[in-house]
Amino acid sequence: MIDWMGLHGNHLHEVEERHQLHSEALLAYKAMQLSAINDGIDLQLVSSYRSFDRQLAIWNNKWNGGATLYDPLGQPLVFETLTDKQKLFAILTWSALPGASRHHWGTDMDVFDYQRVKAWGEPFELVTAEYEGNGPCAELSFWLSDNMESFGFYRPFDAYTGGVAAEPWHISFKTTAETYEKERNAKALLQHLQSANISGLSTIEACFTEIFPRFVLNRGTL
């Protein structure tokens, strides 16, 4: 059975000290990285495989006010003013439910230009502005648009359509990711969440039929 909820991690290989990728995505990633470096772009991983438990920790931290929440354009929200439903939708715009992150698959990764970010010297926050205009990862973003497809990668969060916010840094190894996409199902996900120690469960349950297609499948609303 395919481990689409990040429960076991048997499909993974170490890439670097802190990173793991799906064995099928590893060589393609390495080849793409080498090509980028040859073009003067220091393509490196910010985030790669993430387990269910790691995503659960991220989720619970956000639900309980431990991190700033943002609107779809990246503007910070005032936590205290949000209803539980608003909080749910705000978190889902930028973070997946545990069990529903594409990072569970090892096929998906967030990338940045390490050398340019280091030279830039400001705190790196993985926000859109860093990947546009004069941002330190703007050249990387152009390079990805021009080249990633030939290595089998694409951007699953290319544009905001009412689901997950646009994430120019998030790329996916398409052929393998598609086998995971087909496995996703609402019932199994909800059942697993009900057995986990997740904050906001009653709100998640009440909105589940809406949030599954909108955010998990990222069909959006537009």
Footprint of Zn ion (CB under 5 A):
110, 170
Cβ closer to Zn ion: 24 or 110?
Answer: 110
Amino acid identity, residue 116? R
CB of 67 to Zn ion, least distance (A): 15
Cβ closer to Zn ion: 82 or 217?
Answer: 217
The residues with which 152 forms a beta bridge, in sequence order, are none
Assign 22 to helix, strand or coil.
strand
CB of 47 to Zn ion, least distance (A): 6
Cβ closer to Zn ion: 104 or 170?
Answer: 170
Please report the beta strands in 62-152, taking only residues with DSSP state E, as ranges in sequence order.
108-113
DSSP 148: G
Which residue of this chain has its Cβ atom nearest to Zn ion in the complex? 170
CB of 94 to Zn ion, least distance (A): 10
HSE (side-chain half, CA atoms, 13 Å) at 7: 12
CB of 21 to Zn ion, least distance (A): 13
Helix ranges (H only) for 95-184 are 114-120, 138-147, 174-181
The residues with which 45 forms a beta bridge, in sequence order, are 111
Distance of CA 41 to the CA centre of its chain: 22
Query: Got the DSSP string for 176-198?
Result: HHHHHHTT--HHHHHHHHHTS--
Cβ closer to Zn ion: 111 or 189?
Answer: 111
Cβ closer to Zn ion: 154 or 205?
Answer: 154
Backbone angles phi, psi at 160, to 5 degrees: -80, 125
CB of 187 to Zn ion, least distance (A): 25
CB of 155 to Zn ion, least distance (A): 10
DSSP 17: T
Cβ closer to Zn ion: 82 or 166?
Answer: 166
Strands 170-173 and 108-113: antiparallel
